[in-house]
Structure formats: structure tokens, C-alpha cells
Amino acid sequence: MKMHSYWLDTATPSGDYTRTEVPKEVDVAVVGGGFTGLSTALHAARAGKSVALLEANTVNWGASGRNGGMATTGLAIGFRDAIKRYGEERAVGYFREYNKAIDLIEDIVEENELDVDYERSGKMNLAWKPSHFEGMKQTAEALKRLVGQPVELVNRANIRSEIGSDVYHGAMVDPLGAGLHVGKFGHALAGLAIDAGATIHEKAEVVDVERVGSGTVHDLKTTRGNLRAGAVVLGTSGYTGKPFGWQQRRVIPVGSFIVVTEPLPRNVVDELLPNRRMASDSKNFIYYFRITPDNRLLFGGRARFALSDPSQDKESGDILTKAMHRVFPQVRDARIDYMWGGLVDISMDQMVHAGERKGIHYSLNYSGHGVQMASYMGKVMADAVSGKPEANIWSDLKNPWIPGYFGQPWLHLRVGGAYFGLQDKFS
């Protein structure tokens, strides 16, 4: 069994950027080589800017190369919760951003003829409890009426048309969700950014940042050389660290974990997920799953509130394997070929937070829904550094500092884990 991402294991990097010379001066320095950073670099370079992308590890090393490969519709919070918090008009606007984000991925794939196993096979939310399905009925009604979203409900009696499992009490299917091979996609974005004129610098961690004057110009110190940038865009997600203290205190990194089986026979795959939907369920300790392009079952979840490191990944992976057998007894004898974990960047309100703070542009806090949104926000950030910040509809959302939190997530993980576990039990 391999203890690293299936997606990175089955994709070829667009190049080796570990020895590229860091330029002395650029228009835009992008910090982080995930979808936010890569998409920013691509779109800013296409807009004529000189761009250097600085990545502490390698391209796609963070959450972008470790996720479920699901570009799904909808916010990290429920649509009805969004209406309660922000009112109908803003909730609809926020929801539609995710549709636009999937459209952007589709456009990038089609325009550049990328071979990244992209497919609009739809997504489904599965009800863990009967009460959750009652809630889905109201959500589906609101989504159809207010957004025009073509969602469909599937009741328990018909659930086998969507999933080969009897543990769920119904589903809400949205045909606009998509799946893709995120290893191939991240590497393809890097190749496109290079073609557009950007430079990429792997193993170049930004260790210090100093503002020059009162605008957006900054001097950056990296482990591979220093540079001056006319603008800085931060796309470091759950891996945001010290030089960016203000942002770090607003990101709670939480581990999410995944196991992947050996390739399964076609008849088994057809039984498990006949329509190849991207799937997740309605628990706080969520399970999410899909079929990979080569017919494996990918099964992920929070498993427990923990960070990600090799021993946590194994412990969490073992919990998830048991959960997978419970949902899909058909794969009880299937070998597990991959097990890994990564960090999602949660905020207090589970909303995206993006804007400019003391001259540094940032886009963070995708709260586990960043495959589509990080790719999209890269374009929005490229617009922002070109003096067009209007496309960033998240900029006026307050993102308060998490009380008592200085970037040491353990205590918050314990308290949060207990709270969400109780909610799952009694909701």
C-alpha cells in the first residue's frame, strides 16, 4: 500500500522547477503552487504580467494534489443556512459562484484540450438520517425556485438507482457537479502558466515578507533567493504559515483523509455508483466517495478531528476503511492500494475569504470545497492585481480572528471534534 496521493502517483509533472533561477523583480509573486496559485499565475501571465510562483515543496504538493477530485456545486455551508445568514440575494450570488467555478474548469479543459479525465457526471448529497432527507427536500425546493438549479431528489425506495448501499435515507442529485483527475489538472495548469510566460520555483519557501512603502510592493525572502514584487498573491490554504500571521490566525487546518481500493471489476463499479456521481453525505464527520478514472473506489472523510502526518493518515485511513466496508460491503475483500491525508483550510464561518490586507492579496478558507473555487479564485486574484477587484464577491465578508488561536490547531481540533460528533449523534 502506498501512503501518498493516488492522483500524484498517476500524473506526470509538467517539468522540474526545483532549480529555476528566482528573478530579482517581478510584477506579481504568487505564494503557493496549488490551484489558487497556479491559476493566478496562468491568468496574470496571460494578462501580460511578469509572474514568479514560489512553492515551498513541489507543484500540487498541498491539498490540490490530495483531494477527492470532485468539483461540486454549492457552498461549504447549506444553502438554507446561507439564506438565514446573508439573505436570499447574497446566498444565491454565493451559490452561483460555484457553478461559475466549475464552468471555468470546463472552459480551461476544453480550450486547451487537456487530458485530465474531466467529466460532468453530477454530484449527490446523501442523507445519513431521515431528518436530513426532510431538510434536503426544502433545500431542493429553494435551489430550484431561487437559483434555477436542476437538482433532483431520490427517495430511499429508489436509492439503488444511484448507489449500491442501503445505509442512506435519500439523496439530492445535482447534474452540474463534475469530477476530474486533480493530479493531471494541477500539472497541466503549471504547464499552461509556463507557456504563458510565468516562472515556477519549487523548494522556494517564502520565509519573510516586508512591505515597501504603503502600496502593494513587497520584498520577499525565499529559501532560494530574494525578490521584489509589485504585488503578492497568497494561495497557501491549510498550509499558511508564519510570515503571513494575520492570515494564519484565520485558517484552522483540519485533516481530511482518503483510501483508494485496487481497480474493481466493471460489474462491481456499476453496482456501487452506476451513474459515476461525485458523492458526499450529510454528516459533520462526512464521508465522500467516487470512482476513479481507472475504476477504483476512492473513499474519503474527516474520520476524526486530526492533522495530517504519516501516523495520523494511517490511523484515520484504517477508520475510513471500516466505514467504507459499512457503506459498501461489496468491497470488503478489495485491496487498499493508497491511503493519505491533507489539510483543509476551515474558517469560523466556513466561507471563502479573499481580498487585500496591508497590500497582500489573499484567497483562502475554501473549507473543503476548493477544487473548483481555488481554480476560479486564481482568475479573480489575477484580475485584482490588474486593478479589477470587482469580481471578488467575498471581499466584504468579515473573517474574525479565531479567539485564542495563534496557529496551534490541536485544542480547537479536540473541542471542534467533540462538538461535531455530538451534532452527528443527535441531529
Ligand X SMILES: Cc1cc2nc3c(=O)[nH]c(=O)nc-3n(C[C@H](O)[C@H](O)[C@H](O)COP(=O)(O)OP(=O)(O)OC[C@H]3O[C@@H](n4cnc5c(N)ncnc54)[C@H](O)[C@@H]3O)c2cc1C
Residues in touch with ligand X (CB under 6 A): 31-37, 54-57, 61-64, 66-70, 205-206, 235-239, 241, 243, 256, 258, 300, 342-344, 366, 368-372, 374
**Cβ closer to ligand X: 221 or 325?**
221
**Cβ closer to ligand X: 159 or 278?**
278
Q: Report yes or no: 421 and 304 within 8 Å, Cβ to Cβ.
A: no
Retrieve residue 86's grid coordinates: 446573508
Min dist CB 288 to ligand X, Å, is 6
DSSP-based three-state secondary structure for 379: helix
Min dist CB 287 to ligand X, Å, is 12
Owner of C-alpha cell 476551515: 346
DSSP-based three-state secondary structure for 201: strand
Min dist CB 234 to ligand X, Å, is 8
Q: Report yes or no: 360 and 30 within 8 Å, Cβ to Cβ.
A: no
**Cβ closer to ligand X: 158 or 226?**
226
Min dist CB 392 to ligand X, Å, is 15
Cα separations (Å) of 89 from 76, 82, 85, 223? 18, 10, 11, 46
Residue 290: what are its φ and ψ, rounded to 5°?
-165, 170
Min dist CB 303 to ligand X, Å, is 10
**Closest residue by beta carbon to ligand X:** 370
**Cβ closer to ligand X: 62 or 183?**
62
Min dist CB 307 to ligand X, Å, is 11
Helix (H) or strand (E) run with residue 363 in it: strand 360-364
Q: What are the residues facing 54 on neighbouring strands?
A: 31, 201
Min dist CB 65 to ligand X, Å, is 7
DSSP-based three-state secondary structure for 287: strand
**Cβ closer to ligand X: 137 or 312?**
312
Min dist CB 413 to ligand X, Å, is 14
CA distance linking residue 55 with residue 379, whole number of Å: 18
Crossing angle (nearest 10°) for helices 88-111 and 79-86:
130
CA distance linking residue 220 with residue 384, whole number of Å: 20
**HSE-up (13 A, CA, CB side) for residue 5:** 23
DSSP-based three-state secondary structure for 190: helix
**Cβ closer to ligand X: 245 or 265?**
245
**Cβ closer to ligand X: 201 or 412?**
201
The 8-class DSSP code of residue 144 comes to I
**Cβ closer to ligand X: 159 or 200?**
200
Min dist CB 271 to ligand X, Å, is 22
Min dist CB 158 to ligand X, Å, is 25
* Secondary structure tally for the chain: helices H, strands E: 11, 18
**HSE-up (13 A, CA, CB side) for residue 114:** 27
**Cβ closer to ligand X: 166 or 406?**
406
Helix (H) or strand (E) run with residue 104 in it: helix 88-111
**Cβ closer to ligand X: 161 or 226?**
226
CB atoms within 10 A of CB 232: 26
CA distance linking residue 397 with residue 77, whole number of Å: 15
